[in-house]
């Protein structure tokens, strides 16, 4: 591969094309590095610049002067509360999603890789985890809302789940749909880790007089623990950055950080500050960077058992 790569590079001659050798030049394309330019420019323009802009705008006021005023808003009690809401919502739904998702992965152990059950579960998990968004909000309004069959039945039994408040459209209402997309994400991310469990380990466990219980407590769970922790962090990041489901459910109010970004983007001033969206984006990026770095570090540790 490397040798072939070098040969290809040699075939192409001097990549910078500095010395023109007529016969060779005719057969050669322009310098290969040029081929990297379109994609590079695209990524810079639509990924790097927006990210830098999003974070940097928090440091400037409307007139373009440098200010720490917006960033200091991150310590405003209102902002602190929304960050706390986002954090506990993400922790809770990631924990429930990780446990339930891991159980599904366990149940799938021994189902052959190309079995139709796996294909169906993988596809379903992919849709619900990654492409649900607004649609999941509608599903939960139809399935649990005031006019849902569930509520009709419960009311018939004398139970009114909406007696205290219309909680489905408030912060607690985000918990069911968030768990609903966390479980499938866990199945997608944690599933491959279970494939690293080797039948030989079970045999070794058996020869040494171990039981199913000792296999899991002494071998299975310790080997899987790093992957589980990494997946948990990914789930946390996932619900921390989720916007669409919350935006469709909670059409008013800014209970979590992404919704507060919406408020800051759509109305001119929130908390009497301009460019608060930038400061909130900075806060979100900081949390995401922390979580994703942890994810990468633990994932590297987890790779040890895979090969």
Interacting residues with other proteins between 265 and 284 (CB under 8 A): 265-266, 277-278, 281, 284
Residue with structure tokens 């039948």?
A: 199
Query: Which residues 167-196 are close enough to bind other proteins by CB under 8 A?
Result: 180, 183-184
Contact 296, 303 (CB under 8 A): no
Residue 289 binds other proteins, judged by CB under 8 A: yes
Q: Least Å distance between CB 261 and other proteins? A: 5
Q: State which of residues 68, 127, 159, 161 lies at the interface with other proteins (CB under 8 A).
A: 127
- State how far the Cα of 187 lies from the Cα of 106, in Å rounded to an integer: 10
Q: Least Å distance between CB 285 and other proteins? A: 6
Q: Which residues are CB-contacts of 71 (< 8 A; sequence separation ≥ 6)?
A: 58, 59, 279, 282
Q: Least Å distance between CB 19 and other proteins? A: 19
Q: Least Å distance between CB 35 and other proteins? A: 5
Residue 159 binds other proteins, judged by CB under 8 A: no
Residue 1 binds other proteins, judged by CB under 8 A: yes
Contact 255, 204 (CB under 8 A): no
Contact 249, 262 (CB under 8 A): no
Q: State which of residues 215, 225, 229, 294 lies at the interface with other proteins (CB under 8 A).
A: 215
- State how far the Cα of 175 lies from the Cα of 257, in Å rounded to an integer: 15
Q: Which is nearer to other proteins, 226 or 258 (CB)?
A: 258
Residue 50 binds other proteins, judged by CB under 8 A: yes
Q: Least Å distance between CB 22 and other proteins? A: 18
Q: Which stretch binds other proteins (CB under 8 A): 67-75, 158-166, 203-211, 297-305?
A: 203-211
Q: Is 143 exposed, middle or buried (0-12, 13-18, 19+ CB in 10 A)?
A: middle
Residue 71 binds other proteins, judged by CB under 8 A: no
243-275 core/surface letters (b: 16 or more CB in 10 A; e: else): eebbebbbeeebbbbbbbbbbbeeeeebeebbb
Contact 265, 277 (CB under 8 A): yes
Q: State which of residues 73, 79, 89, 144 lies at the interface with other proteins (CB under 8 A).
A: 144
């Amino acid at each position: 591969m490397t040798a072939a790569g070098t040969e290809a590079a040699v075939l192409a001659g001097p990549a910078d094309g500095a010395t023109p050798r007529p016969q060779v030049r005719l057969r050669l394309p322009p310098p290969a590095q040029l081929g990297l330019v379109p994609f590079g420019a695209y990524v810079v323009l639509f990924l790097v610049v927006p990210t830098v802009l999003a974070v940097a705008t928090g440091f400037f006021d409307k007139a373009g002067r440098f200010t720490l005023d917006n960033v200091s808003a991150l310590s405003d009690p209102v902002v602190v509360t929304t960050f706390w809401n986002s954090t506990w919502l993400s922790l809770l739904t990631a924990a429930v999603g990780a446990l339930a998702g891991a159980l599904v992965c366990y149940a799938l152990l021994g189902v052959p890789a190309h079995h139709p059950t796996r294909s169906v579960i993988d596809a379903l998990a992919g849709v619900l985890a990654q492409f649900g968004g607004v649609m999941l909000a509608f599903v939960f309004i139809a399935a649990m809302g005031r006019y849902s069959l569930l509520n009709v039945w419960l009311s018939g039994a004398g139970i009114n789940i909406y007696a205290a408040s219309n909680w489905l459209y408030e912060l607690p209402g985000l918990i069911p749909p968030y768990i609903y997309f966390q479980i499938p994400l866990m199945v997608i991310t944690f599933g491959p880790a279970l494939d690293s469990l080797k039948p030989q380990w079970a045999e070794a466990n058996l020869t040494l007089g171990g039981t199913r219980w000792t296999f899991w407590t002494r071998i299975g769970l310790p080997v899987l623990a790093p992957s589980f922790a990494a997946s948990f962090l990914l789930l946390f990041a996932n619900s921390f950055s989720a916007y669409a489901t919350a935006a469709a459910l909670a059409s008013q109010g800014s209970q979590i950080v992404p919704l507060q970004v919406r408020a800051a983007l759509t109305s001119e001033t929130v908390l009497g500050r301009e460019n608060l969206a930038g400061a909130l984006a900075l806060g979100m990026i900081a949390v995401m960077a922390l979580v994703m770095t942890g994810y990468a570090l633990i994932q590297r540790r987890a790779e040890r058992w895979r090969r």
